[in-house]
Structure formats: C-alpha cells, structure tokens
Structure 1
Amino acid sequence: MTLDLAALPSPREVSGVTADNFAAEITDIYQPAVLRGFASHWPLVQAGQQSDADAGRYLQQHSLDKPQVLLQLPAGLNGRLFYNDSLTGMNFSGSQTRMTAAIERMLQATPGGDRYCLQCVPVQDNFAGLMLDNPLLSADTKSFIWLGNGITVPAHFDEASNIAVVVAGKRRFTLFPPQQLANLYIGPLDLTPAGQPVSMVNMLAPDLTAHPNYPKAYAAALSVELHPGDAIYIPTPWWHHVQSLSAFNVLINYWWSNVYVASALPFPMLLHAIQAFKHLPDGQRQAWQYMLQHYLFAENGDPAAHLPAQAKGILGEMTPQLAQGLQRWLAAQLK
C-alpha cells in the first residue's frame, strides 16, 4: 500500500490574519492553518531565499556564540531522530559545540554523510538583532530556533499552541487529529527523543505488519510543504511529523498557552494520573473514571452548577491567583 505523505490533502490556507481576527480565523476553529508568506519580510528569511550559505552566515553574524548541544545522526539513518534498536536509548549523540561552529558543521555536511541539528534554542538568549516580528502574538512570546540538515522528527504533539515559521530550506508538515492516537502507535511515555512521546511509525516507509492500523491515521491526516517565509499554526495536541527537505534548514517557532502556571501543563498530569490510577483494583479505577468524567469532562453537566459563584473555587473561573494557589497546594501534596 502506498501511503505517500505528499498525496495527502493540505491544511486550509488563511490570509489577511491580524491580531484582531486571529482567534476567529485561526485558534477558535481548532484546525491547522497555513499562513503563506507570513515572514517573507524578515531579513533572515530573505537571506535564506538567496542560499543556504547566506542564511547560515546571517545567523553566524548575529550569534552570541554560546555553547549548544549539537546532535549528530550517523549516516544511513536518513536523518530520522528516533530510538536505538532496543528502545533503551536514542539513535543520535550530542556534544557541546559553540553556535557558529555548529552552523558551520551543518553547512559543510556532505550528502550521504552524518547529519547534524540543533533543537529548540531560545532566540533571545543566543542571537542579537534578529528581526522576527510576529504581529499575532504578544510581544513577550518567546521564540525558538531549530537548525539542521535533512532531519525527520517523528509525529509528536506540543503542550502549547504553536506557530512555526520556515526560514531557510523546505519542510513538510504532516498533521494528525488527536483522535488518531490509537492508530499512531505511540512509543514510551517516559523515555522520549525530545521530551514528548513520538509515533513508532516510520511514516516515510511504514511497516504495516508492525503497525496495521496506521492507514486509518493516514486517511485522517493533512500534509503540506512550506517554503521560506511560510508559517503554520498547529493546535495542541495535534500530532505532527516534520521532515526537513533541504541540505540546510532553519525554522523559528512560537509556543503560547492560556495555562497560568507551567506545572499545570497536561502531559505531566497525564503521567501522574497513570501512576495514580492504572494499578488500582478494577472497582476503584472505574469509580475514579466516573469522577473524572463528572468533574473534568462535565458529562453530567456543570458539576458546580449548584454552588454559588464565590464557592466554586477550582470548578469556577480560573484566575492567575487561583492557579498559583493550587500550584502551591499540589507541590505540598506531591512531596
């Protein structure tokens, strides 16, 4: 069976998006969206449109040259960041390398040889003078840069909403709705290549004997190739597979969330819930399942409808003060 990612339908493309209509046009719809030419005016993008070397030199000129963890993938892996054969570690190694030298290593990489990448490097802490204006998000939203050769990141999710901007090279994003979780064959939750669990399916060469239900996920997927200056909005927790298609690739991304405190991010809570509930006797686990359905998913309606507003607490409107108080309470409970 041919499951070519390039044959999938594309996400919707949206133009004319401003800060005023961002929610109505993008985030309220809860679907990925492509913003063509979003950053075509960035000097870094314009450098990338000239050549890989121009983009690399531009970054080197603006780099603060701090040490980074440069990942190295041996030749023969086709650039796929993944596990080793026994799933006890990763198929790549990392070494401390200063930014300018790391970029040079990527630019000098030879076809068929080892491949290199830097992941999730905070822009503000590592570069000076990069003009990366994003009119859709608040000015204090942090940006991160991803640099590398032809690297493929398996399907994973982010815990925050994401706008990713292709700066140099080309990338293919393939996106799966959260409801396809069971058909993506997710790997270990507590040993991951980069913090989030990933699909075990090699989507460039799927093994349907090992992953027979993957075609169901493929049938629900969207895929798009982005060029320098293009951006994509990825809602959380949509799964996305990212393939860098050029010899040298640069991406800038922005994450943001309405969660007031970092400790309230959902994935750590999922792991704690597994720890708390998974090994309970069946009767107790079913009882807690009912409680979660009642309080968390409101399957019986508003669970606090019978309480006055001032007494609803965490079941009412979440405020920064309430979130911070709950964080302190949870920290005390989990000691």
Structure 2
Amino acid sequence: MQQAYALENLPAPAEVTGVTAANFNELVVANYQPIVLRGFAANWPLVQAGRQSLPDAAAYLKARCNNQPQKLVSLGPDTGGRLFYNSSISGMNFTASQQPLQSAIDTMLAADNDSDMRYCVQCVPVADNFNALLPELSNPLLNPSPRPFIWLGTRVTVPAHFDEASNIAVVAAGKRRFTLFPPEQVANLYVGPLDLTPAGQPISMVNLQQPDLQAHPQYANAYQAGLSVELDAGDAIYIPSPWWHSVTSLSSFNVLVNYWWSNAYVASALPLPMLLHAIQAFNHMAPGERAAWQHMLQHYLFNPDHPLAHIPENARGVQGQPTPQLAQGLHQWLAAQLNR
C-alpha cells in the first residue's frame, strides 16, 4: 500500500533551460506550473563550498553571518523530523529556543546522520543576518530582485502547504525533495486548522511519506495529480501561488535560499487574511443570506466577463487598474472598518 504512494514514483515537474529575465514570464510564469531550473545557482560561492563538503558550507555561512539569535526548532525522536501538530492538535510537536546563529549551526552539525533529534532554523532574512552574503545571492530572473530568505536544517520535512506569493526556491547545500499538488486538490489534502499552524500557513494533515488511506482516503486522488522531484545543490524550482508543496531535506545539513514576490501592492492585500475574515463573515449566516452572498462573490471575484462598461474608467476605483495609492487607501479603509 505505502509503496503504491511512494513520492519517488510521481512524475517530476517540467525543466526549462535558457531562462532569462526577458523571457521568464513567457517560459515559466505564464504556464502556472512548477518549473525546475537546474543549475540556477551553480556559480554561487556558497553552492561551491557545499560541493566540497557540507561542513564547508556551514563554515562558509558561519563566517558571513551576523550571529544574531534565531529560533532553533528541535524535533524529538517520535516526530520522524516532520514538523506537525501534537497528538491532540492543540499545539506543535516541536520545541524552539533562541540561539546565536553560529551556535545553532554547530548544533545541527553535531547531530549524527542517524540521530533521532532533528533541527532547523527557518525563514531568516539574509539582509538582516547575512549581510556579507547578500551580494552573492542575486536573482537574475527577478528585477528588482526580492530580498532572499535562508533556511537551515538537518533531515526535516515540512508538510504540504501553500504560499501567498510566487516563490523561487534554491537548494544551496545538500539535497531536498519537493512534492507538489495543484490548488484544486485542496479538498483531497485534508487541510488542518487555518488559525493554528506550525509556521503561519495551513498544512495538509496527510503524512506524505506514510499516508494513512483509512484516515485520508481522498489523498489517493491528490497523489494522482502530484509532482515530485529531488534537487541538488545549485538547482532551483519555481512554485506559483497557491500550489501546495512539501519539502523534505535529505542531507545531514541542508541550506535553502528562497525569493518570494507578489503582484499585491501591500501586504494586507495577500489573500489568506481575507479568506479567514470571509470564513468568519459568511459561515454562520442563515442559508438564504449565505447563498445570496455566494452570488455576489461569484459576480465580483470569479466572473471573467464581469461588465464594467457602465462605469467610467476613471471612476471604477477598486474594480479598475490597481495602483499603490489605491491599494494603500483601501487598506486604511478596511482597517477602519474592522476596528469599529
């Protein structure tokens, strides 16, 4: 049963070569599919250090970090290295402590390959913590290049989740497996609580390494739509939002660098907070009223032929062409409404 759902048996995302900033949208973004970019960062000094050895990659990072305290996540022997909930879904299955970054890296290196303890430091802004490394991590496909984040750890698995922004993730040391599912598989992934999450984004409750088809029978459908690929140091993957993706670190020490970007002008325009508010607003309405609002949402949000000819272009406001000024004004209006 488990072998039938082995991630290694899934097809890999397409690979594209010859991608430049000029053709990135045409060759990659327009397809709305995950795309593997082999050798994307082959010339990064960090990648080259890691190809010498994983301790060399760690030493390279330690020499270039500001050594500020970071949250070191520790996963015990009973977790299998999978970031998840505790048995009662009332909290998490890991602990966290503040450690200087160099000390956190040393803790990871000291863990044997067969150690039952797993560790990670997640989502560290490079600009604030590795400013000597920042000039070496430019992204030639994105202009201007978004500020990168760095992720460090041992053999840890992040469950399937989605990002609210587009993502280019670069394996800088070690190996990682990316397993991906299209957004329409959300009903088959058994998503956990939206407001209690390991790292801010809702996660699938399915253990992809050992799926329980009695508890999660519809995962069989998600698996049929899944993609999975193993990436080496220097490889990258483009993940459109909100594709579901799980990431498993396969080496004793792993480094990932990623870049998020969004067409939203302000952070408040990201969709997850709006989804949570919509759930709160609509889920407890009487059936007739809720059905009426379903028509409103369909008309304003999901109707590609929504007519606007009856409104002059300069008077369309939020329905017209977005601008930073319009987005900021709407943000202020929404904040005022929510705080009444």
TM score, norm. by length of structure 1: 0.98
The offset of 1:112, in angstroms, is: 2.7
Q: Distance between the aligned counterparts of 2:235 and 2:314, measured in 1? A: 47
Q: Distance between the aligned counterparts of 1:263 and 1:269, measured in 2? A: 9
1:294 aligned partner:
299
1:35 aligned partner:
37
Q: Greater CA deviation, 53-62 or 121-130?
A: 121-130
The offset of 1:305, in angstroms, is: 2.7
Q: Distance between the aligned counterparts of 1:182 and 1:189, measured in 2? A: 14
The offset of 1:320, in angstroms, is: 1.0
The one-letter amino acid paired with 2:116 is G
Number of aligned residue pairs: give it.
334
Contact 1:303–1:315 (8 Å) recurs in 2: no
* Secondary structure of 1:138's aligned partner: coil
Query: Which of 100, 103, 112 in structure 1 is aligned with 2:105?
Result: 103
* Secondary structure of 1:76's aligned partner: helix
Contact 1:76–1:112 (8 Å) recurs in 2: no
1:129 aligns with 2:132: yes
The offset of 1:139, in angstroms, is: 3.6
User: Identity over aligned residues, as a percent?
Assistant: 65
Q: Where in structure 1 are there 5+ consecutive unaligned residues?
A: none
1:222 aligns with 2:227: yes
1:177 aligned partner:
182
The offset of 1:52, in angstroms, is: 0.9
Query: Which of 172, 189, 198 in structure 1 is aligned with 2:203?
Result: 198
Query: Which of 8, 19, 30 in structure 2 is aligned with 1:17?
Result: 19
1:90 aligned partner:
92
1:79 aligned partner:
81
CA deviation vs aligned residue, 1:55-109 (integer Å, no higher than 9, x gap)? 0000000010000000000123210000000000000000000000000000111
The one-letter amino acid paired with 1:290 is H
The one-letter amino acid paired with 2:264 is V
The offset of 1:140, in angstroms, is: 4.6
The offset of 1:311, in angstroms, is: 1.5
Q: Counterparts of 1:241-320 in structure 2 under 5 Å? A: 241-298=246-303, 301-320=305-324
CA deviation vs aligned residue, 1:89-138 (integer Å, no higher than 9, x gap)? 00000000000000000011122331110000001100132211210112
Q: Distance between the aligned counterparts of 2:287 and 2:309, measured in 1? A: 30
Q: Distance between the aligned counterparts of 1:3 and 1:81, measured in 2? A: 20
Q: Distance between the aligned counterparts of 2:227 and 2:35, measured in 1? A: 10
Contact 2:47–2:173 (8 Å) recurs in 1: yes
Contact 1:121–1:146 (8 Å) recurs in 2: yes
* Secondary structure of 2:223's aligned partner: helix
Q: Where in structure 2 are there 5+ consecutive unaligned residues?
A: none
The offset of 1:310, in angstroms, is: 1.1
2:151 aligned partner:
146
* Secondary structure of 1:62's aligned partner: coil
Cα distance change, pair 229–140 in 1 and its aligned pair in 2 (3 A): closer
2:218 aligned partner:
213
Q: Distance between the aligned counterparts of 1:271 and 1:77, measured in 2? A: 29
CA deviation vs aligned residue, 1:238-290 (integer Å, no higher than 9, x gap)? 00011111111000000000100101100000000000000000010000000
Q: Distance between the aligned counterparts of 1:315 and 1:59, measured in 2? A: 47
Contact 2:139–2:145 (8 Å) recurs in 1: no
Over aligned residues, Cα RMSD in angstroms? 0.9
Contact 2:138–2:145 (8 Å) recurs in 1: no
The one-letter amino acid paired with 1:146 is W
Query: Which of 208, 232, 237 in structure 2 is aligned with 1:232?
Result: 237
Q: Distance between the aligned counterparts of 1:298 and 1:142, measured in 2? A: 35
